[in-house]
Structure 1
Amino acid sequence: MENLESETKGFFQSTTAKMIMVGLLTLILLIPLTLIQDLIAERSIRQKEVIAETISKWGESVYFYGPILKIPYKDPITSQVQNAYFFPEKLSNVTNTEMKSPLQRSIYKSNVFTTKMEFSGNYTEPNFAKKSIPTENVFWDKATIVIRTTNLKSINDEVKIKIGNTNYTFEPNHGNQSNDSIELLETGFIDYNSIKNANFNMNITYNGSKSISIVPIGKTTDAKMTSNWNSPSFNGSFIPNDKKISNTGFNANWKILHFNRPFAQENFETLPKLNKYAFAVDFITPVDEYQQNERASKYGFLVIGLTFLIFFLIQSISKISIHIFQYSMIGIALIMFYTLLISITEHSSFSLAYAIAGTSVVVLIALYSISILKDRKFPLFIGVSLSVLYTFIYVIIQLEDYALLVGSIGLFCILAAVMYFSRKIEWSK
């Protein structure tokens, strides 16, 4: 019986038993770490809800499709009046977007902009003969100009188009609403013969957020966009032919020909939906604070495991006994890093919050280690190791294209260091 008790006591004092207990504690600490990740996700959802509500009052994404020449005609077969739609021969666009100071509600900020869009171009004479429609069946004096767009409540001024020397004002056409959020603006009747071969010019100014999309309906479409936003994302069916991005903003140019996109220059009967053929710019925040917090928390298991491993190696090499309760206190301190990080981030920048939270935890654990290890050499080593580890994780979080490469190299170096320092430990004891 005494031998059995001695063997049991000896096992629990062995290196293997201590490793098992530290491993179990590491797994247990994943529970509060998961709860913190849920908290980050909850705060992120709340941020999106507040931002959506805020920008709904200022202005949402901007979509523009037009200006389009609309001419009614009587179908020679059915005798019904229908509409023909003709796109410009040449369409030029200059868009200037100015990002405003973020709108703030509570602790949440929404990126918003004001954009002025200038359009110019001309139409060729509509060809009804190709559809066997006699000229006398065309209501030339009932022509109108239409545009499809979003964000009507955020348009800052009256929308007019100047054709030749005459200005025509757009009005909402609520009788032609579709099931989507895109609405129709239309001028009053225009006698086509009075504007034949004339050039047009129009300006439209929006308050907006998120993105700007424009459908290239000209037979030749030239577009230029400038902004003081330095992290644009170019999306849609066409990327810029030329773009320049700097810390002070960007400018981009598109040139799109009619055979670059799969729709015709004229459409009889209906105006087609061309949303998917627009070119777009998203005014995004590449990685917001909650995304950075989420990425940091995903390395929590690595931080806890490596910190415990450092203490375990010191314990095994120096023969200093560290109680499982002391491991628990160290683990809780490591978990506190993430609660500090998210709470401070919400009131400052992620970088500052990371520095404050990291420094606080490193100093706390280093000071606690002095009482555990009864020495200043090992706590200094622990403090330096944790500082390097937190710095390494911060660098990975900031990187986008090279995060996997740098992370893999870093983990390989950590593994090599662990193998080197643990090579002389007698695991059988």
Structure 2
Amino acid sequence: MEQQNQQSNKFGHWLKTSITARMLMIGFLTLVLLIPLFFIQELIRERSHRQTEAIEEINNQWGKQVLIYGPILKVPYRVFKEKTVTDKKTKKSYVELIKEIRIAYFFPENININSNINPETKNRGIYTTAVYNSDIKMSGTFVKPDFSEIEVDDKNILWDKAKIIIKSSNVKGVNTANLKLDDSSFNLTSKYNASQKNYGYNHMALHTLETKNILLNPQTTKPLTFNIDFNIKGSEQIRFIPIGKTTEANITSNWKDANFFGEFLPYNGDKIHENGFDAKWKILDINRPFSQQHFKSLPDLNEFAFGVNFMIPVDEYQKSERSSKYGFLVIGLTFLIFFLIQTLSKIHIHPFQYLMIGLALTMFYTLLVSISEHSNFLKAYLIAGSSVIALITVYSKTILKKLKFPVFIGLSLTALYTFIYVIIQLENYALLVGSLGLFLILAIVMFASRKIDWNNG
């Protein structure tokens, strides 16, 4: 029994006095604290996923993102194929002409789009997304369809079966859709079939709005003028495909956080102003790699769309996740500060006290996530950081006794959290600033540890 007590006392003495033992203990505790850090990162991802689900619920009820592909002139025509048929009785073969009806698609000669967007925010619990009402006016002309490319006679073109179609990712949000061709008015009605799934947009089918049959005059060369009035509800963004030989677009809104994206960007430099934006586009057929007529099928041109994004820039979860990835660095450097103070001042710090300090550091991230859901990231970071720094500083005062050590720890943690916040905000220079900061920290540690007698244990 006495021998066991002596061995226990020797181990305790070695743990108190040996530098190697303290380093092993600190390393072990740091690895143990990676477990709560992992669960915190999973919590952040789960909350981010919940935000996405809430936003999708709002968008599905109000109206999804809007992509408009049209108007397009749809003209059926007849083709004849020769087929050799053998008479079963006479065994004689003869050639029979088989008639097929095919569809040709023609894009406008020019198209002018004027759209006024009125966004607003919708909430689901603590989550917010942007939705909008839009008034869209489209005007332009179609020239007489040219079938010379496939050598079809005018008599085989079904001019009285032509239609105007418009494809959109969001027919649920359409309030009004009126079309005027020259002096005739037409209603656009919804039509859907399984083949439209080929035109995916963010995993959504493009649905078809079309007119009833219109009568085209094959004898005239006068352009067919169209005017379309759209009122459509949507969410997050609106896009158009530039199918006109000349496409001009003007989108105005009072939304101040919009950004422009897609294959083509506005040409006017003064598009953003204090009351919102007024963006203008002009796109010529030479600027995009597709023709004005298509005789086999209507191509998927979504990649050439341009438009405006009204999404609210919510990146708190992304910033929180990036911050949590530095958790190992924060815990390791904080433990290193306490280790250097303990080694240089000969003050004993119990492993349980190291564990409490480590758990306080991990609490920073749960505070950060929970507060940022109800406030902006900077305010949440300041509150969470100040709380954890104050807690560890006061707690270290009870351990280290002297005032100068807790003050030094508080200043060090403040500098460390400030450094991490700067890295999170940076994009292009994050790696450079991070590398320089870590180099400076390493230099400080090397300088502070130069007087430690490493031969003592």
The normalised TM-score by structure 1 is 0.91
| Counterpart contact for 2:115–2:252, Cα < 8 Å | yes
SS of 1:192's partner is coil
Candidates 331, 340, 356, aligned match of 2:367:
340
**Closer, same or farther in 2 for the Cα pair 1:7/1:388, shift >3 Å?**
same
Once the two structures are TM-superposed, the CA of residue 131 in structure 1 deviates from its matched residue by 2.6
Instruction: Show the 5 A alignment for 1:82-231.
Output: 82-101=102-121, 103-155=122-174, 157-174=175-192, 178-180=196-198, 181-193=205-217, 196-231=222-257
RMSD across aligned C-alpha pairs, in angstroms? 2.6
Q: Which segment drifts farther, 367-376 or 70-79?
A: 70-79
Give the Cα separation in 2 of the matches to 1:139 and 1:32: 71
Once the two structures are TM-superposed, the CA of residue 227 in structure 1 deviates from its matched residue by 3.9
Q: Unaligned stretches of 5+ in structure 1?
A: none
SS of 1:100's partner is strand
Q: Which segment drifts farther, 262-271 or 145-154?
A: 262-271
Once the two structures are TM-superposed, the CA of residue 147 in structure 1 deviates from its matched residue by 0.6
| Counterpart contact for 2:72–2:164, Cα < 8 Å | yes
SS of 1:161's partner is strand
Once the two structures are TM-superposed, the CA of residue 202 in structure 1 deviates from its matched residue by 1.5
Q: Which segment drifts farther, 65-74 or 10-19?
A: 10-19
Once the two structures are TM-superposed, the CA of residue 265 in structure 1 deviates from its matched residue by 0.8
SS of 1:79's partner is strand
**Closer, same or farther in 2 for the Cα pair 1:196/1:161, shift >3 Å?**
farther
**Closer, same or farther in 2 for the Cα pair 1:274/1:413, shift >3 Å?**
same
The one-letter amino acid paired with 1:146 is I
Once the two structures are TM-superposed, the CA of residue 37 in structure 1 deviates from its matched residue by 0.8
Once the two structures are TM-superposed, the CA of residue 365 in structure 1 deviates from its matched residue by 0.8
Once the two structures are TM-superposed, the CA of residue 4 in structure 1 deviates from its matched residue by 8.8
* 2:298 equivalent to 1:271: yes
* 2:397 equivalent to 1:349: no
Aligned to 2:390: 363
The one-letter amino acid paired with 2:69 is Y
The one-letter amino acid paired with 1:320 is I
Candidates 52, 71, 74, aligned match of 1:70:
74
Once the two structures are TM-superposed, the CA of residue 285 in structure 1 deviates from its matched residue by 4.5
Once the two structures are TM-superposed, the CA of residue 372 in structure 1 deviates from its matched residue by 0.8
The one-letter amino acid paired with 1:207 is K
The normalised TM-score by structure 2 is 0.85
**Closer, same or farther in 2 for the Cα pair 1:207/1:406, shift >3 Å?**
farther
**Closer, same or farther in 2 for the Cα pair 1:82/1:379, shift >3 Å?**
same
Give the Cα separation in 1 of the matches to 2:320 and 2:133: 30
**Closer, same or farther in 2 for the Cα pair 1:127/1:9, shift >3 Å?**
closer
Identity %: 51
Give the Cα separation in 2 of the matches to 1:309 and 1:238: 52
Larger radius of gyration: 2
SS of 2:290's partner is coil
Once the two structures are TM-superposed, the CA of residue 270 in structure 1 deviates from its matched residue by 2.8
SS of 1:159's partner is strand
Instruction: Show the 5 A alignment for 1:394-405.
Output: 394-405=421-432
* 2:76 equivalent to 1:35: no
| Counterpart contact for 2:180–2:227, Cα < 8 Å | yes
SS of 1:204's partner is strand
Aligned to 2:59: 55
**Closer, same or farther in 2 for the Cα pair 1:269/1:9, shift >3 Å?**
closer
Give the Cα separation in 1 of the matches to 2:148 and 2:208: 28
Give the Cα separation in 2 of the matches to 1:8 and 1:54: 62
| Counterpart contact for 1:161–1:169, Cα < 8 Å | yes
Q: Which segment drifts farther, 307-316 or 232-241?
A: 232-241
| Counterpart contact for 2:165–2:211, Cα < 8 Å | yes
Instruction: Show the 5 A alignment for 1:280-429.
Output: 280-286=307-313, 288-429=315-456
Give the Cα separation in 2 of the matches to 1:209 and 1:404: 35
Q: How many residues align?
A: 427
| Counterpart contact for 2:143–2:221, Cα < 8 Å | no
| Counterpart contact for 2:254–2:277, Cα < 8 Å | yes
Give the Cα separation in 1 of the matches to 2:153 and 2:38: 73
Give the Cα separation in 2 of the matches to 1:423 and 1:232: 54
**Closer, same or farther in 2 for the Cα pair 1:6/1:79, shift >3 Å?**
closer
Q: Which segment drifts farther, 336-345 or 22-31?
A: 336-345
**Closer, same or farther in 2 for the Cα pair 1:350/1:79, shift >3 Å?**
same
Candidates 9, 12, 17, aligned match of 2:21:
17
| Counterpart contact for 2:176–2:231, Cα < 8 Å | no
